Amino acid sequence: MEPLVPLAGAPQAPDINLFVLQTGRLPRIGDEVSPWQYRGWLLYQVQFADSHPQLPGRWTHYLRTLEAGRLLDEAIPRIEFELWNLDAGRKMLEHCLRLIHQEDYSWTSFNRLVDWLAWGLAVSREMPPLKEETYEALYRTFNLEPLLLNPHDYLGWMLAERHTNGWNPNAFFPTPHPVVECMTQMMLAGREASSGRDSRLETVLDPCVGTGRMLLHASNFSYCLYGCDIDPLVAMITRINGALYAPWLAFPLPGDVLGVEVPLPPPAPLSVPEEYKPENGETMFRCDDRGQGLLF
C-alpha cells in the first residue's frame, strides 16, 4: 500500500482546497497549475455532481454525517447497480485507455489509467508518470456522467476483458452484480430486526475483495466495510469504486462518528509473496485504510 505520509524530500502536490478557497472556483486549463496536477481534482467534480436529481446523494449524505459528528437519523441512500445502458461509460473509458496506449502501448496502460483515476479521486498519493499532452487529452475526454448515472463496476469489467487469445493475465473473473446483490440481501437484509442493533454498524469483510463488488452492494446496508486482496491493482480499483459510489468505503467514517470502536484490520489469512509485500511490513492490501486522511 502506498505510504500515507509523503516521504521526506518528495515533491508536494498543490492544494486544491486552498485554490478553491482563494479563487472561488475549480482549476481549469490555462491556469499556472494544470487541473490534473491537483490530487483530488476529480473528487471535487464527483461531489458537485451529487446534487443531480437522478443520483442517490451519497456524497451529500456522507459529508452531512461528518459535519454532524454522528450517524444521521435516516437510512443510507440506496444505490442500484446497472446491467444495461453501460455502453457510454465503457466506450468513454476505452477511449481514455487508447489515449494512454498512444504513449505506451503495453499491458501497463490499464494500470496507468487506474493510477490516473486514483490520483484524481484522492485515493492515491502518487501522480502517475504520463506526458503532459496525455494528461490534457485525458482531462478533455473523461466524462463522469455515464459512470454516475449508470453505476457499475466498469474497471472490473475492463480488467476481466483484458485478455489475449483467451488468456486473462490477472486471472480476475468478477462475480456478476445480480449474484452479489442476492448474496448481500441474504446476508444483511433485515439484520436490525433480528439482532436488535443498528444494522448500519454491521461489519462486512470480503477477504478476496477483487474490485469491491460485494462491498459496493453491502454499502446499501452498512458503513463498516472491509476488504483485502493480494493484488494491489484490484484493491485500488475498489477504492476508486468507493470514491464514485460509496464514500464510506474509500474514506471510512471515524470511530467517533460511528459511535463504536473501529476494529483493527484482521490478519491476512495467507502469507503474501515477497514481491507483493509493502515496505511497511503489512501482510495484506487493504482497500479501506483507516489511517487514510480525508480530502475535506
Residue-wise pLDDT for 232-270, tens only, equals 999 999 999 999 999 999 999 998 999 877 655 555 444
Q: CA–CA separation, 240 vs 183, rounded Å?
A: 22
Task: Give the number of C-alpha atoms closer than 13 A to the C-alpha of residue 202, restricted to the C-beta side.
Answer: 22
The grid cell for 230 is 493480494
Does residue 295 have a pLDDT over 50? no
Please check whether residue 6 lies inside any domain of the structure.
no
| pLDDT for the residue numbered 194 | 60
Print the domain residue range for 166: 16-286
Cell matching residue 18? 486552498
Is 101 among the domain residues?
yes
Contacts of 93 (CB under 8 A, 6+ apart): 113, 154, 155, 158
Q: pLDDT tens digits for 83-122?
A: 999 999 999 999 999 999 998 767 789 999 999 999 999 9
Distance CA(104)–CA(271), nearest Å, equals 33
In this structure, of 28-37, 114-123, 158-167, 272-281, the range with the lowest mean pLDDT score is 272-281
| Predicted local distance difference test score (pLDDT) of residue 45 | 95
User: pTM of this prediction?
Assistant: 0.85
At residue 79, the pLDDT reads 98
User: Of 277 and 179, which is predicted with more confidence?
Assistant: 179
106 found inside a domain = yes
Whether 9 is covered by a domain: the verdict is: no
Mean pLDDT score of the chain, rounded to an integer? 84
**CA-to-CA distance for 108 and 106, rounded, in angstroms?**
5
Backbone region of residue 274 per phi and psi (left: phi > 0; alpha: psi in -120 to 50; beta: other values): alpha
Band of residue 184 on the pLDDT scale cut at 50, 70, 90: very high
Beta strands, E only, the chain: 203-206, 224-229, 285-286
Is 70 inside any structural domain?
Answer: yes
C-alpha 276: how far from chain center: 21
Q: Establish if 131 belongs to a structural domain.
A: yes
Does any domain span residue 4?
A: no
Domain-located, residue 5: no
Tally of structural domains, the chain: 1
